């Protein structure tokens, strides 16, 4: 199992070896394998950090209004897609959600930052207690009023200090009601945050559209990592499209060890070693992930393994089944969106963060709609009619709540258990549990993920433009 899972990485390593390796004089004749050996990943240097800026700040919507406010984060000029969330709490979790990569997040809650930012403490499984990923993911932050003085027993710094450390600009003192009204009427729009400069209409061409970028590639782990569960013997292959920590926690606490693979890993080639496959949330347009869609197609053709997808994972599952996705006008980002379970008639209050949705009218005949949004009637879930495969657009694991739909993890792991027992009948010696050696070799957290840079620093973009113009004149 170990050789099959690690073969792509090993092949890449072998191809880069230019000369024979020289062994050290003191080689160990025997190696001790400890499944609980802690591994510490190197922390990337924070070259993006700046002092907190309190300069004039401008929030500009492309071909739209301009809002003047005050900076309270990094002194950095960025652009991205402006979106809004109506969530009242959970701003640390929202801002570290990889699904927000490349987006400028506008909070409709008037006061943000009043309970500060907690530490990067980890739980007994090595997962972050208070964040959904190790870094702030949003390109920029816009609020009506920021609390510069915070109060909470978990807090270690202010929202402004955190934004400055992460190199993310933040703006307060703007009319977020007017911004949200514009975005609801016009749809999600490209926008820019400029710190300490006057707005220049001639720079409108500097807007960067994150939807043209494969954002999943930026947030997905670059090599497999593993998290063990001490309470069960299930083993799940997780396809990381921008996984939230609480998705992994929700699986591990229910007795499933997880091996997390890059988004484009050919999971269908190793699925027979696992008891289930899980596709996670992530940012951007699902059609950028064509390799993932192809691998899911092959997986469903060649394996009966249970599959669950959340958010982007749900959309990729639908694409793999043959359906299509659509871009919503301004998306759904909130903690209070009603979703109706079409199989039971029950309504759940859900947490959501997405700009795309599955077009349920394009589902093949062996699939059916599972959940529907009661606000805009968009699709919120799909389920296969005869196999243990389903996906939800909303987040059953929602950190910050609500937890109405968390039972879906139990539903998924019940199907995993049934699959595992059925396989034991035909393969009595089958053991899907990860070997101690595999556990020891793999990292224990996401590998090689570079923090957000706000898509592009507009100052650098301007310099590059000037250099190009100079070169053209010289030619």
Which positions are catalytic?
Answer: 311, 395, 397
CA distance 312 to 309: 8
**Cβ neighbour number for residue 151 with a 10 Å cutoff:** 9
CA distance 463 to 456: 12
CA distance 462 to 459: 5
CA distance 383 to 323: 12
Cis ω before 243 (30° cut-off from 0): no
- The pairs formed by 83-86 with CB atoms below 8 angstroms and a separation of 24 or more are 83/183, 83/188, 83/330, 83/331, 83/333, 83/355, 84/108, 84/176, 84/179, 84/180, 84/183, 84/330, 84/333, 85/333, 85/334, 85/353, 86/333, 86/334, 86/335, 86/336
Q: Using alpha carbons, list the distances in angstroms from residue 464 to 77, 169, 470.
A: 14, 21, 10
- The pairs formed by 376-383 with CB atoms below 8 angstroms and a separation of 24 or more are 376/328, 376/332, 378/328, 378/332, 380/339, 380/340, 380/350, 381/314, 381/339, 382/314, 382/317, 382/318, 382/321, 382/323, 382/358, 383/343
CA distance 214 to 327: 16
Structure tokens that stand for 200 in this block: 């220049």
Rounded to 5 degrees, what are φ and ψ at 275?
Answer: -100, -10
Rounded to 5 degrees, what are φ and ψ at 256?
Answer: -110, 120
CA distance 225 to 134: 15
**Cβ neighbour number for residue 16 with a 10 Å cutoff:** 7
CA distance 202 to 192: 13
Of 317, 293, 322, residue with least CA distance to 307: 317
Instruction: With beta carbons less than 8 A apart as the criterion, state whether 376 and 187 touch.
Output: no
- The pairs formed by 206-209 with CB atoms below 8 angstroms and a separation of 24 or more are 206/79, 206/458, 206/461, 206/462, 206/465, 207/62, 207/79, 208/79, 208/80, 208/455, 208/456, 208/461, 209/81
């Amino acid at each position: 199992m170990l050789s099959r899972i690690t073969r792509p990485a090993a092949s890449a390593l072998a191809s880069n070896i230019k000369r024979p390796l020289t062994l050290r004089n003191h080689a160990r004749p025997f190696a001790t394998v400890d499944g609980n050996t802690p591994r510490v990943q190197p922390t990337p240097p924070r070259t993006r950090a700046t002092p907190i800026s309190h300069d004039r700040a401008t929030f500009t919507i492309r071909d739209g209004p301009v809002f003047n406010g005050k900076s309270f984060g990094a002194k950095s000029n960025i652009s991205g897609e402006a979106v809004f969330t109506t969530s009242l709490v959970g701003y640390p979790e929202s801002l570290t959600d990889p699904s927000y990569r490349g987006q400028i997040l506008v909070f409709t809650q008037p006061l943000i930052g009043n309970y500060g930012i907690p530490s990067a403490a980890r739980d007994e499984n090595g997962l972050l207690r208070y964040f959904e990923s190790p870094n702030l993911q949003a390109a920029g932050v816009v609020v009506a009023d920021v609390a510069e003085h915070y109060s909470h027993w978990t807090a270690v710094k202010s929202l402004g200090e955190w934004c400055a450390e992460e190199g993310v600009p933040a703006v307060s003192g703007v009319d977020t009601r007017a911004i949200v009204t514009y975005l609801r009427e016009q749809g999600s729009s490209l926008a820019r945050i400029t710190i300490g400069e006057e707005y220049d209409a001639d720079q409108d061409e500097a807007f960067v559209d994150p939807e043209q970028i494969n954002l999943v590639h930026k947030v997905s782990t670059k090599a497999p990592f593993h998290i063990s569960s001490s309470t069960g013997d299930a083993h799940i292959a997780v396809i990381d499209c921008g996984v939230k920590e609480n998705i992994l926690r929700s699986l591990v606490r229910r007795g499933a060890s997880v091996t997390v693979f890059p988004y484009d890993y050919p999971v269908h080639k190793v699925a027979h070693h696992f008891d289930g496959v899980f596709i996670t949330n992530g940012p951007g347009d699902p059609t950028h992930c064509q390799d993932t869609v192809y691998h899911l197609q092959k997986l469903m053709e060649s394996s009966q393994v249970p599959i669950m997808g959340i958010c982007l994972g749900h959309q990729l599952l639908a694409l793999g089944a043959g359906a299509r996705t659509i871009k919503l006008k301004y998306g759904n980002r909130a903690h209070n969106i009603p979703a109706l379970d079409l199989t039971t008639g029950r309504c759940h209050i859900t947490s959501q963060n997405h700009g795309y949705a599955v077009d349920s009218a394009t589902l093949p005949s062996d699939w059916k709609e599972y959940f529907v949004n009661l606000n805009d009637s968009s699709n919120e879930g799909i389920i296969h009619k005869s196999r243990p495969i389903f996906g939800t657009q909303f987040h059953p694991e929602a950190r910050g709540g609500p937890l109405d739909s968390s039972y879906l993890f139990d539903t998924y792991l019940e199907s995993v258990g049934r699959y595992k027992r059925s396989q034991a009948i035909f393969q009595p010696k089958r053991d899907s549990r990860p070997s101690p050696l595999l556990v020891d070799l793999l990292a224990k957290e996401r590998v090689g993920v570079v923090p957000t840079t706000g898509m592009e620093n507009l100052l650098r973009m301007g310099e590059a433009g000037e250099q190009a113009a100079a070169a053209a004149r010289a030619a």
